[in-house]
Structure 1
């Protein structure tokens, strides 16, 4: 019987990685079905197989993760219509990245300060998938999970952290800027419909008039409120604070 103990990251189920890859493949903006196949070959070859831009992202949650995605430029539409689009490759691929990390639970996805694809592929803890369309290579998806348990010793022991220790930690981030967003509704549109938008077009949202607006902190729902006008500027009046699970506090 082996005396070696697997790392915390290695303890994550293979099914979790597979679910992330499948969710990502289903959301890629492709006309044909995309299949995510576990890749067991030389990692360095992945970057050579695909002609396209690589997009990386970091996900902060429990667990956290780093991901990288590269998709064949032809799959995204490299013609004149693609070139005239008002959004980047990262914009096109973000819904797929969000779908892949959604299987990990609540958290925040950011494409800022993401690790390079090269560094991610060189890490033995990273799990890689080759993306295929009709059996042909169409790109790759890589994910590395981080177990946050090692940075939460109080949670492991069951002992509450001292109040002064918590205050000290919070004091270090008092001046950190975070993005607060007010959202009045959402909708889903195909790339074709987005490219067809013109001045005067009306986009119908999924929320009725008078419904409360969502207030998100770094993409996470924290409160609801009503939109108001203050000195010819829009504002929002908080009507309800939500707990971390998205319910009333």
Structure 2
């Protein structure tokens, strides 16, 4: 496109106060038609083992305090009794849960999902 404008036409364009650039831009934008991606069979990934851990709480103590620990010692943690515990998958927070007993074994009842996607768990 090598159309040239005269000085008069150029001045008219600059001085034209009736330009509605936003309306013109939105009316000329056409949404591209995107073909839906084919659904992939993800059942293979269901066989990959992951490490699920339950973190009760944590605390930071000095090495001196740790060296003084013996059989009757109590280390105070940073979580209130009864608060949901952290469920981690491969070290990344996945959910909050409470401990339950199922057929004599400990189990977890999920009370809140963290919103992490699978990609967050692989970092």
Match for residue 237 of structure 1? 109
Which protein shows a greater Rg? 2
Per the TM alignment, residue 160 of structure 1 is displaced from its structure 2 partner at its CA by: 9.1
Can you list the C-alpha shifts for 1:48-71, whole angstroms capped at 9, x where unaligned? xxxxxxxxxxxxxxxxxxxxxxxx
* Aligned counterpart, 1:123: none
TM-score, normalized by length of structure 2? 0.57
Match of 2:85 among 213, 227, 235: 213
**Partner Cα separation in structure 2 for residue 199 and residue 237 of structure 1:** 31
Alpha-carbon distance in 1 for matches of 2:35, 2:115:
20
Structure with the higher fraction of residues in strand conformation: 1
1:162 is matched with which residue?
A: 37
Counterpart selection for 1:175 from 47, 60, 63? 47
Does residue 75 of structure 2 align to residue 203 of structure 1?
Answer: yes
Q: Distance in 2 between matches of 1:161 and 1:218?
A: 32
Alpha-carbon offset, residue 175 of structure 1: 1.4
Bigger helix share: 1
1:200–1:219 Cα change, 3 Å:
same
Cα deviation 1:28-81 (Å, max 9, x = unaligned)? xxxxxxxxxxxxxxxxxxxxxxxxxxxxxxxxxxxxxxxxxxxxxxxxxxxxxx
Gaps of 5+ in 2: 1-33, 118-123
Q: 1:161 to 1:191 in 2, by over 3 A?
A: farther
> Number of aligned pairs?
84
Deviations 1:88-121 (A, max 9, x none): xxxxxxxxxxxxxxxxxxxxxxxxxxxxxxxxxx
Kindly indicate whether residue 84 of structure 2 is the aligned counterpart of residue 222 of structure 1: no
Q: Give me the CA root mean square deviation.
A: 2.4
> Per the alignment, do residues 182 and 160 of structure 1 end up closer, same or farther by CA in structure 2, a change over 3 Å counting?
farther
- 1-structure distance, mates of 2:78, 2:35: 42
Query: Which 4+ runs in 1 deviate beyond 6 A?
Result: none
Per-residue Cα deviation, 1:203-246 (whole angstroms, up to 9, x for no partner): 1110111111111111111111111123332211111112128x
